[in-house]
Amino acid sequence: MSIDHPSFGRIDANRVIIFDTTLRDGEQSPGFSMNLAEKLRMAEALEELGVDVMEAGFPVASKGDFDSVHQIAQKVKNAVVCALARSGGKNDIASAGEAIKPAKRGRIHNFISTSPLHMKYKLRMEPETVLEVIEAGNRAARQFTDDVEWSAEDGSRTEPDFLCRCVETAIRAGATTINIPDTVGYSTPEDMARIFADLRARVPGADGVIFSTHNHNDLGLGVANTIAALKAGARQVECTINGIGERAGNAALEEIIMVLRTRHDVLPFTTGIHTERLLRTSRMLATITGFDVQPNKAIVGRNAFAHESGIHQDGILKNAATYEIMTPESVGWTRSSLVLGKHSGRAAFRDKLKAMGYDALEEAQFNEAFSRFKDLADRKKVIYDEDLVALVDDEVRDHARIRFISLDVTAGSRRPATADLVLEVDGARREGHAEGQGPVDAAFNAIRAIVPHDATLQLYSVGAVTEGSDAQARTSVRLEEDGKLVDGQGADADTLVSAVRAYVHALNKLLVKRDRAEPAALEA
């Protein structure tokens, strides 16, 4: 049965709305953080991917969050731009309404906890008070937009009768989308199917709203629970690129989409996602957050379409369908690997980057990337796609406050290592000299000499971009300061330069995160 929706008009019964929350829930991943420019780049990529709704942030949380939602609302042309708000927050809904005002289509997503555990210990509210807050919050949101979503936080652990009362209250107060999140990833697919079937059967007005499912992955069931909810009548899925999010993350958008596409025989649903852009969007997010996708990650991991077993390779050569249930090209992978050389010019380099999805580089970023490519071509015999991805990603990462310029290191077994480092900090050139227990320690101490800070190094990891002793190094760094975690990445043919680039990337993110604050707790 089709449904009329204020933002989408008449929606076919099998059309699934893709609600992406990478920019809001996803950014709450430990160590992840995006500045305004990065959020705008990601919003543009999500729109090109074809998401229906993008949750752009939590405007009341900080001025930075408000500004990012407001500017995304100005920039996005096709997707609904959504702002999060607490149903009973003093200024939440007004702030959300103001933030989405420029949007062609805007949504306010308000929420409150409904489980006995959350009501007693988090909210310290009685059930009747929660019902009053739900009604007031949704009526207030309708003053700003006709597209209002309400979520029952910890809905999967809420008593069924009370959940029905909450949903009925939200619908009566004007909510047009009802979201039942598995906030802590506790549920099984059977639980989710029962919850949605029960609500659709028992709640007055349920046939006139979109039911939405939002599943966390604490037990590894995020995607499975999402599919179960769809089969039980939900028609909006809330998900993130690469499955990022708090703790073990959210249900992964790319996995949900390819399940629906690959198993259309038993899941006859449609979406507006352009699947060939999945890999490109995944890689962009990994670059921005400084956190690589695990190699065996479904759909977008580098091993997702790799075959080492001789039996598998033989089958693939005879007929790809023997061991591949989808084509690599369908999600954005390409078969080519060997690329440019040291004699390649700017035009060939630009064409190659465009073919790889880097068609929106600023001129300064392109020039620096080309310069680094020529330097790499002089030092490395064979250059692969992965090499280009590594060095270009390095240029488009956040360098808003601090930028690497140069590094000279001396090290050996008979004397302390020393590092002479040059950084650009807020537009000014600064130099630092330091000693250390080894070359990496000396380089990191030189960073501290130039940019004093109290963050501690929680993770330092080095890997090779491609095979061979001349492979570029890709370094990951995690810093912690006052409970705030940030991840950084860097790549270079020189392992030490790669390490400094990663540390500088993380430090830039830490400067952004310092300015953020949590809104005051909501209590009775």
Q: How many whole angstroms separate alpha carbon 335 and alpha carbon 346?
A: 23
Q: How many whole angstroms separate alpha carbon 264 and alpha carbon 270?
A: 9
Q: Which of 106, 95, 41 is nearest to 73 (CA)?
A: 106
Q: CA-CA distances (angstroms) from residue 400 to 34, 219, 424, 427? A: 11, 37, 10, 9
- Helix runs in 62-173, H state only: 63-75, 92-99, 116-118, 127-141, 160-172
Q: Which of 302, 291, 220 is nearest to 34 (CA)?
A: 291
Provide the strand spans (E) within 204-362. 210-215, 236-239
Computed over its alpha carbons, how large is the radius of gyration of the chain?
Answer: 25
- Kindly provide the b/e burial profile for residues 286-308, where b requires at least 16 CB atoms within 10 angstroms of the residue's own CB: bbbbbbbbeeebebbbeebbebe
Reported as type and span, the H/E element at residue 18 is strand 17-20
264 labelled binding-site residue: no
| Residue with tokens 């996602």, as numbered in its chain | 273
138 labelled binding-site residue: no
Angle between helices 160-172 and 127-141 (to 10 degrees): 30
Counting Cβ atoms within 10 Å, is residue 220 exposed (0-12), middle (13-18) or buried (19+)? exposed
Reported as type and span, the H/E element at residue 394 is helix 385-396
Q: Which amino acid type is present at position 451?
A: V
Q: How many whole angstroms separate alpha carbon 213 and alpha carbon 189?
A: 12
Provide the strand spans (E) within 336-482. 402-410, 417-425, 428-436, 456-464, 473-481
Return all residues near 461 (Cβ < 8 A) that are at least 6 apart.
Answer: 475, 476, 477
Q: CA-CA distances (angstroms) from residue 297 to 226, 286, 288, 464? A: 18, 13, 18, 18
CB 324 within 8 A of CB 305: yes
Q: Which of 435, 438, 351, 425 is nearest to 388 (CA)?
A: 351
| DSSP SS3 for 292 | coil
Return all residues near 356 (Cβ < 8 A) that are at least 6 apart.
Answer: 385, 388, 389
Q: Which of 111, 1, 2, 6 is nearest to 53 (CA)?
A: 6
25 labelled binding-site residue: yes
Beta-ladder partners of 460: 477
Question: Which two tokens mark 42?
Answer: 């990601």
242 labelled binding-site residue: no
Query: Where is the binding site for Mn(2+), in residues?
Result: 25, 214, 216, 250
Query: Where is the binding site, in residues?
Result: 25, 214, 216, 250
